[in-house]
């Protein structure tokens, strides 16, 4: 029994490059047109539209089936939707010559198609072709690089309300052929739309990547553009077991540091209030945000407990940026800052809680134990350390993000990495902490919480 008068199942199944599919034949445009025509015809409360997997007639897509009658239509390109809606859904009459009536023929086609696909797969396997997923993994950098170059060239800002490739090339001071090629690829990736010879930002790129948008994330995304260069040294770093040609954080180009802290801020701005809400601040009057970066967490702590005495500790070249972010939040009188080096200083004397977010992965196991020992001395009796990081399971292969992020540390630090919960608990015990426990958070990070013995 149908809940709605009609229920349409539209196949939107993407397939490997070598296979024909509804997605490849324009199912997305058909879906958009179908939704729009159904709405325009006042049928929203009578027609339910669901995208579905393969219906077996992939060479004839986009395909759909309309229930309760179970009428099949093949080759429903967007230009055919208006007639289908008017005839089948409004007038209750399947479209003559378009609705499939030859059920036996259809069944034969589906079976023939299945056998063809099976034979093709077997042939590809025999001829040693890489499975699609593995091939995509290997080539994934191409699409990533297109986006990074577009960010680097500030293409989305240059497009403005809509521009031709020639206009964009002039604004970004680049070659017209090169510019047109990357614009077409960006449109293929759905990061832009293209009408005639004009390119337009999508709602997402207009909000997140155009310089005059209040939500523009480009300054933060430049950090990923910089990471690309570090990741290109991965092979060498694997051979050496450490980052190659590394510039110490405190000596980095200000432009690189600005992008790094902007990226930390963008990530933390969303997650900090959620993380801070999971931390018990009962009895906590003084708090150190160790390697606090932009101060996003310190700001969230100050908002959660307004009379808390908070200090953000970070490198001398970062603290001026920290102060800027704290001032933007209007908390410059509430949150103090302190410049130093967490590898040798002992910050946070007299703290009830030391918070270290995304710090331990920059350090080696030995450096972490040494840091925990030093900051333990700074804590008041019964003070706590709260660490936030990407924490691995014992097998070190999951969660996937944490396992991949370990390589980000291999290429970017002398001896950093991602560590298992067990490692954190062992180090904290060695450093004189008790009752250490892991607290899961929604998202890719967890907390490790321990009390001073």
Which CB atom, from 13 or from 446, has the smaller least distance to ligand FES? Answer: 13
Any contact of residue 335 with ligand SAM (CB under 6 A)? no
Q: Which of 30, 37, 63, 413 binds ligand FES (CB under 6 A)?
A: 63
CB-based contact 206:217 (threshold 8 Å): no
Out of ligand FES, ligand SAM, none, which partner does residue 264 contact, by CB within 5 to 8 A per kind?
ligand SAM
Given 8, 9, 13, 26, the residue binding ligand FES (CB under 6 A): 13
Of 255, 270, 265, 254, whose CA–CA distance to 152 is shortest?
Answer: 255
Number of residues that bind ligand FES (CB under 6 A): 12
Is 343 a binding residue for ligand SAM by CB under 6 A? The answer is yes
Among 9, 31, 38, 61, binds ligand FES (CB under 6 A): 61
Residue 217 contact, options ligand FES, ligand SAM, none, Cβ 5-8 Å cut-off depending on partner type: none
Give the pair of three-digit tokens for residue 375.
């900051």
- Give the number of other CB atoms < 10 A from CB of residue 306: 9
Given ligand FES, ligand SAM, none, residue 22, with its beta carbon under 5 to 8 Å by kind, binds ligand FES
* Residue 26 near ligand FES by CB under 6 A: no
Any contact of residue 11 with ligand FES (CB under 6 A)? Answer: yes
- Tell me which of ligand SAM, ligand FES, none is bound by residue 61, counting a contact when its beta carbon lies within the kind-specific cut-off of 5 to 8 angstroms: ligand FES
Tell me which of ligand SAM, ligand FES, none is bound by residue 341, counting a contact when its beta carbon lies within the kind-specific cut-off of 5 to 8 angstroms.
Answer: ligand SAM
Give whichever of 134 and 404 is closer to ligand SAM, judged by the CB atom: 404
CA atoms within 13 A on the CB side of 191: 22
Among positions 104-143, residues that touch ligand SAM (CB under 6 A) are none
Rounded-to-integer distance, Cα 167 and Cα 440, Å: 50
State how far the Cα of 311 lies from the Cα of 380, in Å rounded to an integer: 15
Q: Residues 357, 378, 408, 418: which binds ligand SAM (CB under 6 A)?
A: 357
| Pick 14 or 92: Cβ nearer ligand FES | 14
Query: From the CB of 344, what's the least distance to ligand SAM, in Å?
Result: 8
**Contacting residues for 90 by C-beta, under 8 A, at least 6 apart:** 41, 43
29, 36, 49, 56: residue in contact with ligand FES (rule CB under 6 A): 56
Site for ligand FES in 152-191 (CB under 6 A): none
* Site membership for ligand SAM, residue 243 (CB under 6 A): no
Q: With CB cut-offs between 5 and 8 Å by kind, which of ligand FES, ligand SAM, none does residue 280 bind?
A: none
31/409 with CB nearer ligand SAM = 409
55 binds ligand FES (CB under 6 A): yes
Determine if 341 is a binding residue for ligand SAM (CB under 6 A).
Answer: yes
- Would strands 391-392 and 419-420 be described as parallel, antiparallel, or unpaired? parallel
User: Contacts with ligand SAM in 260-279 (CB under 6 A)?
Assistant: 264, 268
In terms of CB distance, is 63 or 357 closer to ligand FES? 63
Query: How many residues interact with ligand SAM (rule CB under 6 A)?
Result: 17
Q: From the list 296, 329, 353, 411, which residue makes contact with ligand SAM (rule: CB under 6 A)?
A: 296
Residue 165 binds which one of ligand SAM, ligand FES, none, with CB within 5 to 8 A depending on kind? none
Listed ranges 131-139, 285-293, 374-382, 416-424: which one lies at the site for ligand SAM (CB under 6 A): 285-293
Find, among 355, 300, 305, the residue nearest to 329 by Cα: 300
User: Minimum distance from CB of 382 to ligand SAM (Å)?
Assistant: 24
Pick the closer one to ligand SAM by CB: 173 or 251: 251
| Residue in 81, 326, 359, 450 binding ligand SAM, rule: CB under 6 A | 359
Q: How far apart are CA 150 and CA 327, in angstroms?
A: 31
Binding footprint of ligand FES on the chain (CB under 6 A): 11, 13, 15, 21-22, 54-58, 61, 63
Residues that bind ligand SAM (CB under 6 A): 249, 264, 268, 291-293, 296, 314-315, 318, 341-343, 357-359, 362
């Amino acid at each position: 029994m149908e809940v709605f008068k009609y229920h349409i199942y539209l196949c939107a199944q993407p397939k490997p490059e070598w296979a024909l599919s509804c997605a490849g034949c324009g199912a997305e445009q058909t879906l958009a047109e179908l939704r729009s025509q159904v709405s325009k015809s006042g049928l929203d409360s009578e027609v339910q539209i669901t995208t579905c997997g393969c219906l077996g007639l992939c060479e004839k897509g986009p395909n759909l089936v309309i229930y309760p009658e179970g009428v099949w239509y093949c080759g429903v390109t967007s230009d055919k939707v208006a007639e289908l809606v008017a005839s089948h859904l409004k007038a209750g009459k399947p479209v003559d010559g378009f609705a499939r009536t030859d059920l036996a023929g259809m069944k034969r086609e589906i079976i023939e198609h299945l056998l063809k696909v099976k034979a093709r797969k077997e042939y590809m396997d025999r001829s040693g072709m890489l499975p699609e997923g593995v091939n995509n993994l290997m080539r994934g950098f191409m699409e990533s690089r297109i986006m990074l170059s577009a960010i680097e060239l500030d293409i989305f800002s240059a497009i403005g309300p809509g521009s031709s490739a020639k206009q964009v090339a002039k604004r970004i001071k680049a070659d017209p052929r090169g510019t047109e090629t990357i614009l077409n690829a960006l449109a293929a990736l759905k990061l832009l739309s293209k009408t005639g010879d004009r390119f337009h930002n999508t709602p997402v790129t207009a909000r997140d990547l155009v310089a005059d948008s209040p939500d523009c994330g480009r300054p933060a995304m430049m950090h990923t553009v910089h990471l690309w260069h570090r990741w290109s040294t991965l092979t060498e770093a694997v051979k050496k077991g450490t980052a190659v040609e590394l510039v110490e954080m405190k000596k980095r180009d200000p432009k690189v540091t600005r992008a790094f802290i902007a990226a930390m801020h963008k990530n933390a701005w969303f997650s900090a209030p959620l993380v801070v809400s999971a931390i018990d601040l009962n009895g906590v009057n003084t708090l150190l945000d160790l390697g606090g970066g932009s101060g996003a967490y310190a700001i969230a702590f100050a908002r959660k407990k307004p009379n808390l005495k908070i200090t953000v500790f970070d490198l001398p070249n970062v603290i001026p940026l920290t102060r800027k972010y704290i001032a933007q939040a209007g908390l410059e009188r509430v949150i103090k800052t302190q410049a130093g080096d967490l590898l040798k200083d002992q910050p946070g004397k007299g703290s009830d809680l030391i918070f270290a977010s995304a710090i331990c992965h920059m350090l080696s196991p030995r450096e972490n134990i040494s840091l925990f020992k030093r900051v333990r001395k700074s804590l008041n009796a019964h003070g706590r350390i709260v660490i936030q990081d990407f924490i691995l399971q014992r097998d070190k292969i999951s969660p996937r993000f944490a396992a991949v992020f370990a390589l980000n540390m291999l290429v970017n630090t002398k001896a950093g990495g991602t560590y298992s919960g067990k490692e954190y608990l062992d180090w904290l015990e060695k450093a004189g902490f008790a009752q250490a426990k892991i607290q899961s958070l929604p998202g890719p990070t967890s907390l490790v919480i321990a009390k001073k013995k």
